[in-house]
Structure 1
Amino acid sequence: MRLVILGGGESGVGTAILGKKQGYDVFVSDFGKIKDSYKEVLVINEIAWEEEKHTEELILNADVVMKSPGIPDKSPIVKQLKSKGISIISEIEFAAAFTNAVTIGITGSNGKTTTTMLTHHVLKSAGLNVGLAGNVGKSYAWQVADNNYDYYVIELSSFQLDGIVNFKPHIAVITNISPDHLDRYDYKYQNYIDSKFRITMNQTEEDFLIYDANDEAILEWLKNNTVRAKLIPFSLTDEYSEGAFIKNNTMEVKINKEEFTMDTEHISLEGKHNLKNAMAASSVANILKIRKSTIRESMSDFQGVEHRLEKVLKIQNVQYINDSKATNVNSVFFALESMNSPTVWIVGGVDKGNDYHELMSLVREKVKAIICLGIDNKKIIDAFGNVVDIMVEVDNMSEAVKMAQRLSEKGDTVLLSPACASFDLFESYEDRGKQFKQAVKNL
């Protein structure tokens, strides 16, 4: 069986190692450059590879192709594979066939990383033999090849879900859905929503789907489609006989006639959106019958996720916050909603079809100045030019942070929350966040 892997990054190399272990004839092809550290791994494992090209005769003879999530369906090589009827799957689909572990799959436009890390933290604290995979941690396939975990908590993007056929998490979580990556879905929001719900398509009555019951897109989809899994809603406003909710500053989770409660002020993560993430993670923990004292402890000592509303430093009584992971409008909405002081907002990058209007009232109420950090800032300037008094354009992080210091006064907050992808000026959102933190430290 010939396994061809498109993309020599974390998921590609992980799949190559697992494929080789399972006896496939493996070939890795990357249209860009492969990192030296990954090349070394491929060479040591005697796996054939190429970079900066796709050689058709070495690819079109595949029995199965694993496509890295970053490669769009409209790329020429993918179109050729499809026209030949060759099966194209994601790393998640490939690896799932080689493990009997219980999987918890978590998707959503926002909150999925925090919910994934928090869920993993609870399970690990409970002493379970658990791996963390997907968009965070080491590649799922790599871990299936090297480790023997009993449980996996997997963060799943819509791109990864597009490439599944039989993959079935025992517990699926949809944190929320808001317009994102529409450039990959023909600018049709419905296509993106359907993509997220692929997480439950193979689930049975034995499985669970945990979801935000205050989310319009989710409710609309559930109304028009059937789900076999047992539904576990969570909400900030409604109460359930089966589900999770907040009542009188207490988080309550009711599942399988069991009840779990926790005072919300003991939850370490701040903000309303994090109460939702905590309800989702607590629901998973309760389904897996983890001790209540362990869940409470884990919720109160969890440290949060880097680049997600991360407090960097306080300088001259101005708080600098790194929210570089906010790559869409909905994430920024949560960030601005949790600001309690006048805010200097650093925003911009590669726009993915954003509509900034839903931020209008929050910007009016909380933002005193906007610093645009991107190559093309026209949309942001058009949206907010008449809403804030001060708007500045810069083209590097150091300049953005220096300008923010000039525009802020005692008691203010400087918030990096870009609402956009980072690829115009940075390698990744992590690189953007690290540069922000370094620039703040250099002040």
Structure 2
Amino acid sequence: MQKIAILGSGESGFGAAILASKKNYKVFLSDSQNISQPKIDCFKNLNIEYEENQHSFKKIAKASLIVKSPGIPDDAQIVKQLNKRQIPVISEIEFAFQHTKANIIGITGSNGKTTVAHMVYHLLKDELEDVDLAGNMGLSFAKTVAEKKAKHYVLEVSSFQLDGIQKFKPHIAIITSITPDHLDRYQNNFDLYTASKFRIAENQLNTDFLIYNADEEHLCNWLKKHPVKSTCIPISTEKELKFGTYLKDNKIIINLNKKLHIMPISALEVKGKHNTKNAMAASTVAHLLKIRKETIREKLETFHGVEHRLEHVLKINKVNYINDSKATNINATFYALDSVGSDLIWIVGGVDKGNVYEDLLPLVNEKVKAIICLGLDNKKIINAFKSCVEDIYETQSMQECVKIAYHIAQEDDTVLLSPACASFDLFDNYEDRGRQFKEAVHNL
């Protein structure tokens, strides 16, 4: 019986353990922190050996294969030790891929990947047989493979997950955007981060497809210097393309074999330039999978967006409250500020990932009347905006933050939670942060 060790008991590790058990591996799961009781109960039920609050190297090194959770960096001591022993260390998506023959649609990018994944799934779920959604949004690919036998998987894939692949190959890959993010994990080197994102296409063949954002100069230059084998399909809202998907007269045009008018963007339920581009990417996938253009149009008209991404919460005393907790980097927050009107009370802050807040200055200067910092260390935010925003508050709980917003908001203002930062200083994750925001707003 082959021995496998799994590092981390989060969604990825938990899912990998279930799949490994089902595939008759001898499983040992190790977590440097506490493991929740429901997961411990599951491990006992499946006879999965586990440890918590430590990594026992001797036990882990007995395995012939290691599955590493994406939250554990490659330069962690335990990973370095395993590399020295030349024991393969792979990601959960790689492990799951090795145990399915399904068609994979993989979506990565600094921003937009969650929305595009949900949008693609919305377009395909009733049109193709056995379609499932999984990946980086908290739905373990491995657990899904263990429990279901889908013929098509729509996967949101992070750079951390791609760092641990060997054979993982989506038939259709999408790169929504590549802007500076997570540089703390990539030696503050944007090229290393970019290379990680492009790993989504490294195993593709000429029968596969790579859909990419042709309006990003850095992304296009990288593709020119590092060509891929797959058929590249550009997407642009700024220029007409001889081959690709573009906007013309506010209509989405897919021009692959012949021009195909999909729909006017005014019919999209989700608004904003970024959502137009998301719809273009999703439409292109559906077209490649032979979904009728009338169906694509009807489905896009009924897609309402995803939780924690520019999600309208409530209107209280003619003040709008918007939850954009999923904006964990500068580029995502740029889209949020750009898509919302003036007279903003902006809630920002958390764990900084090397943000250059000055990139937001023009929008903040134009639209933001007050800033509420929500984090343990707000110096960078205050220094970046104190010259253009007079009212800046510091808070360390969501309840306090929302109460301040409520007291300073006036009629027709918008209170926007768009943190531009990770959430781990005060919250479990961005979902927890978003849920706490919505709960605090509903309790006003």
Q: 1:294 matched to which residue of 2? A: 295
Residue range with higher mean Cα deviation, 270-279 or 237-246: 237-246
Look up the match of 2:274: 273
Alignment pair present for 1:330 and 2:331: yes
Q: Aligned partners of 2:96 and 2:238: how far apart in 1? A: 39
1:41 corresponds to: 42
Post-superposition offset of 1:360: 0.7
CA offset digits 1:235-255 (Å, max 9, x no partner)? 111111221111111111122
Question: Which is worse superposed, 252-261 or 122-131?
Answer: 252-261
How large is the Cα RMSD of the aligned pairs?
1.1
User: Cα offset for 1:258?
Assistant: 5.9
Query: Could you tell which deviates more after superposition, 30-39 or 104-113?
Result: 30-39
Aligned to 1:402, the other structure's residue is in SS state helix
Secondary structure, in 3 states, of the residue corresponding to 2:149?
coil
Query: How many angstroms does 1:22 deviate by?
Result: 1.9
Tell me: CA distance 1:137–1:396, structure 2 relative to 1, closer, same or farther (3 Å): closer
1:256 maps to 257
Misfit runs of 4+, over 6 Å: none
Task: Tell me which residue corresponds to 2:32.
Answer: 31
CA distance in 2, matches of 1:223, 1:13: 39
Three-state SS of the structure 2 residue aligned to 1:106 is strand
Counterpart contact for 1:134–1:154, Cα < 8 Å? yes
2:424 partner amino acid = F
User: Structure 2 matches for 1:172-251, cutoff 5 A?
Assistant: 172-251=173-252
In structure 2, distance between residues paired with 1:208 and 1:41: 39
The residue that corresponds to 1:381 in the other structure is 382
Deviations along 1:54-74, whole A, 9 cap, x unmatched?
A: 112210111110000001112
- The answer to whether structure 1 residue 350 and structure 2 residue 351 are counterparts is yes
Aligned 8 A contact 1:349 1:374 in 2: yes
AA partner of residue 264 (structure 2): D
Q: Give the Cα–Cα distance (whole angstroms) in 1 for the partners of residues 156 and 368 of structure 2.
A: 32
Contact 1:255–1:287 (CA under 8 A) maintained in structure 2: no
Q: Distance between the aligned counterparts of 1:229 and 1:425, measured in 2?
A: 42
Q: Deviations over 1:364-411 (max 9, x none)?
A: 111011111111000001100101121111111111111111221111
TM-aligned CA deviation for residue 294 of structure 1: 1.6
2:123 is aligned to 122
For the residue of structure 1 that corresponds to 2:101, the secondary structure is coil
Write out aligned runs for 1:387-398 (5 A): 387-398=388-399
Provide the aligned length of Structure 1 versus Structure 2. Answer: 443
Cα displacement (A) at 1:257: 3.2
Aligned to 1:150: 151
How far apart in 1 are the matches of 2:262 and 2:328? Answer: 33
8 Å Cα contact 1:129/1:151 also seen in 2? yes
Structure 2: runs of 5 or more not aligned: none
Shift of 1:82: 0.8
Q: Is the 8 A contact 1:324 1:432 kept in 2?
A: yes
Overall identity of the aligned pairs, in %: 55
Query: Could you tell me how far apart the structure 2 residues matched to 1:256 and 1:25 are?
Result: 50
Contact persistence 2:342–2:366 (CA under 8 A)? no
Q: Secondary structure at the match of 1:336?
A: helix
Q: CA deviation at 1:163?
A: 0.2
Alignment of 1:31-70 (within 5 A): 31-70=32-71
SS at match of 2:301: helix
Deviations 1:106-139 (A, max 9, x none): 0000000000000011101324311111112531
Q: Secondary structure of 2:125's partner?
A: helix
Structure 2 CA distance for aligned equivalents of residues 187 and 174 of structure 1: 21
Mapped contact 1:183–1:352 kept (Cα < 8 A): yes
Question: What's the CA shift for 1:203?
Answer: 0.5
2:429 and 2:169 mapped to 1: Cα distance? 30
1:311 corresponds in structure 2 to 312
Q: Is the 8 A contact 1:9 1:35 kept in 2?
A: no
CA distance in 2: counterparts of 1:397 and 1:137, whole angstroms: 22
User: Over residues 352-373 of structure 1, what are the superposed CA-to-partner deviations in whole Å (9 max), with x where a residue is unaligned?
Assistant: 1100111010001110111111
Structure 1 residue 75 and structure 2 residue 103: aligned?
A: no
> Take 1:136 and 1:370, find their aligned partners in 2: how far apart are those partners?
28
Tell me how far 1:428 sits from its aligned partner. 1.0
Q: For residues 269-289 of structure 1, what are the alpha-carbon distances to aligned partners after superposition, in whole Å with 9 as ceiling and x for unaligned?
A: 111000010000001000000
Give, in whole Å, the separation in 2 of the partners of 1:260 and 1:38. 49
Distance 1:325 1:138 in 2: 16
1-structure distance, mates of 2:413, 2:239:
35
For residues 148 and 54 of structure 1, the distance between their equivalents in structure 2, rounded to whole angstroms, comes to 33
Instruction: Look up the equivalent residue of 2:151 and give its one-letter code.
Output: D
Distance 2:443 2:23 in 1: 50
Give the whole-Å Cα distance in 2 for the aligned partners of 1:9 and 1:398. 27
Maintained 8 Å contact 1:244/1:251: yes
CA distance in 2 between counterparts of 1:216 and 1:242 reads 18
- Give unmatched runs, 5+ long, in structure 1: none
Aligned partners of 1:52 and 1:208: how far apart in 2?
Answer: 43
Q: Distance in 2 between matches of 1:359 and 1:155?
A: 27
Report the Cα distance in structure 1 between the residues aligned to 2:222 and 2:235, rounded to whole angstroms.
Answer: 16
Q: Distance in 2 between matches of 1:265 and 1:191?
A: 38
Residue 228 of structure 1 and its aligned partner are, at CA, apart by 0.7
Aligned residue identity for 1:155: E
